[in-house]
Each structure stands twice: as structure tokens, then as C-alpha cells.
Structure 1
Amino acid sequence: MSAGHDHGGHAHDHTAGANAQMLSWALALTTAYLVAEVVGAFVFNSLALLSDAAHMLTDVAALVIALLAIRFGQKPADDKRTFGYKRFEILAAAFNALLLFGVAIYVLVEAVQRFRQPEAVQSTGMMIVAAIGLVVNLISMKLLTSGKDASMNVKGAYLEVWADMIGSVGVIAGALAIRFTGWTWVDPIVAVGIGLWVLPRTWVLLRDTTNVLLEGVPGGIKLPELRAGIAGLSGVAGVHDLHVWSMASDDINCTAHVTLAEGADADAVRKRVADMLDSRFGIEHCTIQTEAAAEPCEDTGHLHP
């Protein structure tokens, strides 16, 4: 493994450390507000606040799991888990998505009950609590912005906080409507709106994590282009058994069998393929097996740039 790949590992560790610090601050803020919002939901009898509090609970869970994912993800590979623990991040993100789906269903059921039996809502207290929540969510979003594109797990936490921010805005609007019109049915309407707003984004997160768990081709990589890139290199007569997958959101792995052109040097071809995969597709970890056209799978070599 070259020095360049090692440097990438150090960069990943540095990024993970920065993410952990930001996640810790966001967790402290979110947990403190969660307690206040749950109390406010019951004191002011607001389903919209309770719905927002439910999403806030998933935020707390997401942030805790994200921190654990960073801790476990940095553990080195061992004899039982030769790829290390990076996939813990993906499992955590998938769990968060499923948790959000569960919360949305709960809110929809509760809203139906409120439509059948409307209840009085204290709009002023509801609005104050939601306004505090809006500030907390905005701060948490700012803290998580830098890491959301580099980590699927941090992205999951960011999406939940973002959804809560929208929810807080909805609760404030609902509180104002109830205060000036007396329409208590606005409260369950807002609660349902919050649930429906977050579901499409939750689906995207669940889809992406499922693709990783199923060893799917990472987003942004088109397998026909990658195959053509290898086949077009000097010394390559053909390519088969090509596999591309991710262990986590920040790494891509590739294995391939390359048939050598007549007279081609196996070591030179393997290096050529590895360099192309790294520079063109960002694949730093690859295993290239070379073979003569007449004797497939005879000459094997591994190269990790």
C-alpha cells in the first residue's frame, strides 16, 4: 500500500474526529430541547409539538448512533472482520431511516384520533416551544453541514435535524393560526404535514443504505464506463468478473479479471489499471487478476495503490 493511500487514512481519521466533535455539540443541544419539547407537548396539549418531539427523539438516537458509528468505524480490521467496522455506519443510517418511518406512522394514527375528537390547544406556549426548537435546529444544522457530504451517517443525522427545522416552522405557523382563528384542527394537520414532509427524504436515505448493504455499484459510477476504461488500456485484451461496491460512504472497492494482450507485461498492466481506476473513478482499493487468453485465471496479482 502506497504512502498516498495511508495519507487518505489519516485524512479520514481527522474528518471522523471533527465529525465526532460537531455531533457531540449537536447531541447536547438536541437532548436538552427534547426534554423541554416533550414537557411542552403535554402541558400545552399539542399533537404538533408531540410529533416534532418524536422526530427530535429520532434526532437524539441518530446523533448517538452516529457517534458510536465513528468510534466503531475507526477500529482496525481483525481476524473476524477483515474489512473492519466501517459498515456499522451504514447499519446506523438504515436504522435511523426505519425509525423515522415508524414515527411518521405513529403521528398519522394520532392525527386521525384528533380529527375524530378535537382537543383544546394552548397556542402561545406551543409557539414559544417551537420557536426555541427552530433556533436549536438551525444551530445543529450548522454544526453538521461540514460532515454531511463525506459521511452517510452524518448525512442521516443532518436530514433528521433538517426535517425537524421544517417541523418547527410548521408548528409556529400552526400555533399562529390557532391563536387567531381558534381552529384546533390545524394542530393535527401540521402534525401530519411534518410526517409527510420527511418521508421522501427518509426514503432516499434508506435506498442509499440498502444499495450499500446489497453490495450495489456506488452512486456516481457507471459500470459500462468503468469496464470500457479498463478495456481501452494498453495491454488489455478483455475484462470480466468485474465487481464494484462500497463498505461505507467514503470508500469504493473493485475487483476484476483482466485478460492480457499478447506479449503484455502483467505487472505493468495491473499498475496501469489501478492508476486509471484511482484517477478517473476515485477507486483507491482494487484487486486486479491478470490472465493469458489461452489459460484463464492462471496469473494472479493484487495491487492496492
Structure 2
Amino acid sequence: MAHTHSDDHSGHDHGAGHVHGSTDKKRVLIAACLTAGFMVAEALGGLLTGSLALLADAGHMLADSIALGLAWYAFHLAGRPATGRLTYGFGRVKTLVAYTNGIAIFVIALWIVYEAWGRLQAPVPVLGGPMLVVAILGLLVNISSFFVLHGGDRESLNMRGAILHVLGDLLGSAAAIVAALVILATGWTPIDPILSVLVSLLILSTAWSLMRAAAQVLLEGVPPSLDRDLIARDIEATVQGVREVHHMHVWSLDGTSNMATLHACLDEGVDAYQAVSTIKKRLASEHGISHATVESEFGQCADDGDNHDHAHDHEHDTAAHHDHHHQA
């Protein structure tokens, strides 16, 4: 029985990722400055006009200024090299920020719903004219931020979180414009809190989807675009000399870089190096898995003692086998 453990760190094309990260970092910084700059004006406008829609949008923009700043810092950290303690580097910071952004959006949206309920019970006067001016200016700023971010890498969870924040601001400004027009035309002030609630509910649904995607990465779940068992069967069917694949783990480091570890049980006499090399190439070319750790085996699996049945045991994943020792 022979075991060879091969861990290939070379040959990964990170060039495109670094280009995306650099331009995305600049895009997020520009959006953060635009958002923070107008947030103060909108908050003052909301206080002076009595508009919850403006205050709600200013609240969004306050959180978004902080969130965009965090997103920029996450891109900054992601560019740092790996260390002896953080062997995969800081790439996952972007996912942590995306998850935190989702929570922040939830809190703000719930606060707006709560405040709107109070406004519906006891309506307050709203100055429609000044409200309309501030809302239009806010919309123009948010449209500018949205287009700056829209050209970035939308596969990045961090960039998706940043775009989601600005989209929420954009919708908030549009709702404030509609509310202002209705108030100017009819004097019916309840439209202000009603539209604020509608925008908040829409933002809640998109925030939930962002949090789910980020949580999938943080929990090291199989990326949605991949099927672990199908990949294992593909390797068994296409790589000569591979009798069975088991103990397979597939996860994503940051929502874009996919990784895997697996045991490949080989037929007697097969060149282990050649088999492992072919498996790695297959994973990269056909399944988008850029980094793989493959342990080759002949006969009995070292992790399972004498009673291991080599029938397709793809589901037999033990937490103790995380031999890649990665840090989240």
C-alpha cells in the first residue's frame, strides 16, 4: 500500500482576479465618497421637510457609506499575501463584509418599517417642494454611484453587496420623488411612509439572498454551480486508473475561487503522479476548481481502518479529514 500526497499551489491564473480587484477597489471608493457626501445633505433635508422617505434614504446612505468603506478595506486586505497563520490570505474578508452588509441592511429596513407604522398612526406635515428637490439630487448621486459600481466584477460577493446598497439608495430616492409629487398634487402625506415601507421590503428580499450566498461560502458549502458527487463520478469515468473517489470536499474561498480535496483510489500498477496530475487538470478545465489537494491510494484507505467499504462512499465525509488545514 502506498500513499502520495500532492498539493499543487502553482499554475493558478490569478491575473484576472487581481485586475478585477484593483479596479473594483477604485470603483467602491468613488461610490463611498459620493454616498457619504450626499448623505449629510439628505439627512438635513429629511429633518427640515419632515419626510420619512428622505430620512429613510439618508439612513440607507449612512449605512451604505460605512458598508462601502468596509468593502473598500476588504479589497485592500484581499491584496495582501498569505501568511504562516492565514495560509489562504485575506480573500475571505470580502465574504465576511458581504455578510455583515446584509445584516446592516436588515436592521435599517426594519427600523424604517417601525418608524413608518408610527407615521401612519399619527401623520406629520411634509414639505413637498423642498423634499422633491433633495430627492432628485439624491437620485442623481445614486445613479452615478450605481454606474460606477455596475462596471465591476458582479461575480464578487463583496461587489454584489456594494451594488445592493447603492441600489437600495437609488430606490429610496425614487420613492421619495414619487411621494413628494403625490404630496404636492394631493396633500396626502401617508404616501411618504407607505412608499418607505415598500422600498424596505424590496431591499429585505435582496439582502436575504446576499446573506445566503455569503453564508454558503463561510460554511464552506459546495458552490451552487458545482455538484460534488457528479464531479467525483466524472473523475472516476474519465481519468484512467482511478477506481474510486471518496472523502471529497468542494468549497469556495471567496465566492469565486473554487477548491477541493479528495482521495483517489487507484488500480495497482498505475503511475500515481500521472493520475494525480490528470485529476488536477480535469478539475481545473472542466469544473473550474483552481486549487486541489489529491491523496492517491492503493487498496485500503488510511483514514478508515480495516472495515472501509470502497463502494462509492461520496457521502462519508468526516470533519476530521480536513487535511488542508485552511483558515476561514
Which letter maps to 1:16? G
- Taking the aligned partners of 2:30 and 2:224, their CA distance within structure 1 comes to 30
Which letter maps to 1:175? A
Q: Which moved more, 1:123-132 or 1:90-99?
A: 123-132
Q: CA deviation at 1:262?
A: 2.8
The 8 Å contact of residues 240 and 258 in structure 1, kept in 2 or not, is answered as yes
The 8 Å contact of residues 147 and 155 in structure 1, kept in 2 or not, is answered as no
- Report matched runs for 1:1-305 at 5 Å: 4-5=11-12, 8-232=13-237, 233-294=239-300, 296=302
- Taking the aligned partners of 1:189 and 1:297, their CA distance within structure 2 comes to 60
Which letter maps to 1:292? F
Which letter maps to 1:283? I
- Taking the aligned partners of 2:141 and 2:230, their CA distance within structure 1 comes to 45
- Taking the aligned partners of 1:2 and 1:90, their CA distance within structure 2 comes to 22
Q: Which has the higher helix share?
A: 1
Q: Secondary structure at the match of 2:269?
A: coil
Q: Secondary structure at the match of 1:242?
A: strand
- Taking the aligned partners of 2:301 and 2:15, their CA distance within structure 1 comes to 41
Which letter maps to 1:279? S
Q: CA deviation at 1:131?
A: 0.8
Q: What's the CA shift string for 1:200-254, capped at 9, x where partnerless?
A: 1000000011111111011211122211111112110001000011121221110
Any gaps of 5 or more consecutive residues in structure 1? none
Identity %: 36
Q: What's the CA shift string for 1:174-213, capped at 9, x where partnerless?
A: 1111111111111110111111110110000000111111
The 8 Å contact of residues 291 and 297 in structure 1, kept in 2 or not, is answered as no
- Taking the aligned partners of 1:287 and 1:70, their CA distance within structure 2 comes to 27
**Residue of structure 1 equivalent to 2:312:** none
Q: CA deviation at 1:280?
A: 0.7
Which letter maps to 1:254? A
Ranked by relative contact order (alpha carbons within 8 Å, sequence separation 6 or more), the top structure is 2
RMSD: 1.8
The 8 Å contact of residues 9 and 291 in structure 2, kept in 1 or not, is answered as no
Any gaps of 5 or more consecutive residues in structure 2? 1-7, 305-323
Which letter maps to 1:239? V
The 8 Å contact of residues 142 and 166 in structure 2, kept in 1 or not, is answered as yes
Q: Secondary structure at the match of 2:289?
A: coil
- Taking the aligned partners of 1:120 and 1:209, their CA distance within structure 2 comes to 41
Which letter maps to 2:176? V
Q: Which moved more, 1:163-172 or 1:37-46?
A: 163-172
The 8 Å contact of residues 247 and 263 in structure 2, kept in 1 or not, is answered as yes
Q: Secondary structure at the match of 1:147?
A: coil
Give the TM-score, by structure 1 length: 0.93
Q: CA deviation at 1:3?
A: 6.6
Change beyond 3 A, Cα 1:295–1:81: closer
